[in-house]
Structure 1
Amino acid sequence: MTVPAQTTIAPRPPRRRLPLSVVLGLALAVVIILAALFSAYLAPFDPTRMAVGPRLAAPSAKYPFGTDEFGRDLFSRVLVGGRLSLGIGVSAVVFGLVIGGLAGLTAAFSGRAVEAVMLRLIDILYSFPDTLIALALVAFLGPGIENATLAIAISLVPFYARLTYGLAAAERAKPYIEAARLAGIGTNRLVRVHVMPNIGQSLIVMGTLGFSSAILSAAGLSFLGLGVQPPSPEWGAILASGRNYITKAPWILIFPGAAICLTVLSFNLIGDSLRDFVDPRRKGLR
């Protein structure tokens, strides 16, 4: 009599849970983005209207964030200012990523001579801090939200160009690229079909991290009076207007500063988590 062999059922692998940092970053980002998108409906007062309350009034039920030196509601200004700050960050990162990505891909797949010239130009620009480049461009173009956005975007181009070139050069050395060339695939199709899908995830992750840098640059330019001009509300501009009242009305600095910190923190948490997810080596170390 033969005994049937017992079949063993492999245990189900444990369900992976999202790290707490990802959940916290996503929750903060969603709240901030929704508040910025619907700021026109959430703001109880016109953010540029003066004397809606007493000057330098402390936070209260009617004015949750208090008022500034002109009696403007600070809660309304911070809400509407978030839309400006996020808009500048998104526009700058998209522009810098697209232009820098095209420059990096061109340097990687356009021959030795073009590669050498473009890399030297990129390295020269990359040697300067992005804040210094943005300041120089705004000083040349003049203050304003459009010029500040353009300056921040151009300052991000060398970083994304160098990053894209490094990723593309690593892919260029792999055997499947040589096989595709031997199969007669042109450079444009090779980059579009084979290279971009392999480096796109890394570029998106670095774009998420670069968004935080763009927010800080926009706030810094507005704080120096080179970005968004009064009376338009923007987090950096609100900080600049409240620096003279740091002892008398510190809430003018606290609330826009907290908005900047929470926004940068949320997108840094998301970007770091995405980088760990995309890079298997970092995932193993974690």
Structure 2
Amino acid sequence: MNAPVRRRRRRLPLNVLLGLGLATIVVAVAVLAPVIAPFDPMRMAAGPRLAAPSLAHLFGTDEFGRDLFSRVVRGAHLSLGIGLAAVVAGLAVGGLIGLVAAFAGRLVEAVLLRVIDLLYSFPDTLIALALVAFLGPGLVNATIAIAVSLVPFYARVAYSLAVAERAKPYVEAARLAGIGSGRLVRVHVMPNIGQSLIVMATLGFSSAILSAAGLSFLGLGVQPPSPEWGAILASGRNYITKAPWILIFPGLAICMTVLAFNLLGDSLRDLADPRRTAPQRAGA
């Protein structure tokens, strides 16, 4: 083993601990948001308008006098909920498509791969924007749009992993024993690729949160007065010189969350197999 690989492995536990620690903080804040938030996040005139950060209002107040700390904390609950729902749905649908493409025969494989490649050629944010423009703005529609935008990525990942398993001797032995494709995938293939899919889901989680914030910032996602991070940024952009804290704190929350899950996902992927490379999209 060469020196760079040894140094990389020595650094790996620190990356895992850092990513896990940051992710734990973000998740804890999201779960405990109703307890941590000192004010109702949608209560107007909780303090003076555009008040600077202070002991009474840790992150200051917005243009309606709403407590910004309460809104950012409750926004964690909302943003993580959107990300989790989108990733679970996208992984379920995309994973199924990838597995079907790998084990359903050459014709089905060729057709599904061409469709996946076509969708994969578009940025996931563009797909989400087109879908939410068609479905209309809102929490549910934004979640559906983000989930659909993640499907090509997870389909490609699942297909790549399934093809690698398909070439292994145990698959040929199972086919010779008369095991059907459905049972083969369910009993033998899925347990072997499940860990890698979960790791890639962790990486896709940060992309889903960024997409949700972007849609809300453009007015196509979660609608005001809901305290979603992107929506808070959109409402504060007119006060960037007068009250920059309205943009600073939700922006830091987004950065910390994305960094946490990217670190965690990268570290878990390296732990699972340092030599393995998987297809990635920009922002994932």
Fold equivalence (TM over 0.5): yes
1:184 deviation in Å?
Answer: 1.2
Partner of 2:57: 63
State the AA in 1 paired with 2:198.
Answer: I
1:202 deviation in Å?
Answer: 1.0
Equivalent runs, 1:29-40 vs 2, <5 Å? 29-40=23-34
How far apart, CA to CA, are the structure 1 residues paired with 2:276 and 2:243?
Answer: 45
Matched residue of 1:84: which SS? helix
1:280 deviation in Å?
Answer: 4.0
Q: Which runs of 5+ in 2 are unaligned?
A: 1-9, 278-284
- Give the 4+ runs in structure 1 shifted more than 3 A: none
How far apart, CA to CA, are the structure 2 residues paired with 1:29 and 1:163?
Answer: 23
- Range 204-213 or range 187-196, more displaced: 187-196
How far apart, CA to CA, are the structure 2 residues paired with 1:62 and 1:263?
Answer: 25
Instruction: Say yes or no: does 1:98 pair with 2:88.
Output: no
Matched residue of 1:19: which SS? helix
1:233 to 227, 230, 254: 227
Instruction: Say yes or no: does 1:89 pair with 2:83.
Output: yes
Equivalent runs, 1:141-220 vs 2, <5 Å? 141-220=135-214
1:281 deviation in Å?
Answer: 2.2
Partner of 2:262: 268
How far apart, CA to CA, are the structure 1 residues paired with 2:182 and 2:119?
Answer: 27
2:251 to 254, 257, 274: 257
1:17 deviation in Å?
Answer: 9.1
Q: Which runs of 5+ in 1 are unaligned?
A: 1-15
Equivalent runs, 1:89-128 vs 2, <5 Å? 89-128=83-122
1:204 deviation in Å?
Answer: 0.6
Q: How many residues align?
A: 268
RMSD after superposition = 1.4
Matched residue of 1:197: which SS? helix
Matched residue of 2:112: which SS? helix
TM-score normalised to the size of structure 2?
0.92
Partner of 2:4: none
Partner of 1:279: 273
User: Once the two structures are superposed, what CA deviation does each residue of 1:18-65 show, in whole Å capped at 9, x if it has no partner?
Assistant: 622211111111111111111111110110010110000000000000
- Percent identity for Structure 1 against Structure 2: 79
Instruction: Say yes or no: does 1:134 pair with 2:128.
Output: yes
State the AA in 1 paired with 2:92.
Answer: V
How far apart, CA to CA, are the structure 1 residues paired with 2:11 and 2:240?
Answer: 43
Matched residue of 1:161: which SS? helix
How far apart, CA to CA, are the structure 1 residues paired with 2:74 and 2:49?
Answer: 20
State the AA in 2 paired with 1:195.
Answer: V
How far apart, CA to CA, are the structure 1 residues paired with 2:234 and 2:108?
Answer: 45
How far apart, CA to CA, are the structure 2 residues paired with 1:280 and 1:26?
Answer: 19
- Range 274-283 or range 222-231, more displaced: 274-283
TM-score normalised to the size of structure 1?
0.91
How far apart, CA to CA, are the structure 2 residues paired with 1:265 and 1:61?
Answer: 28
How far apart, CA to CA, are the structure 1 residues paired with 2:20 and 2:172?
Answer: 40
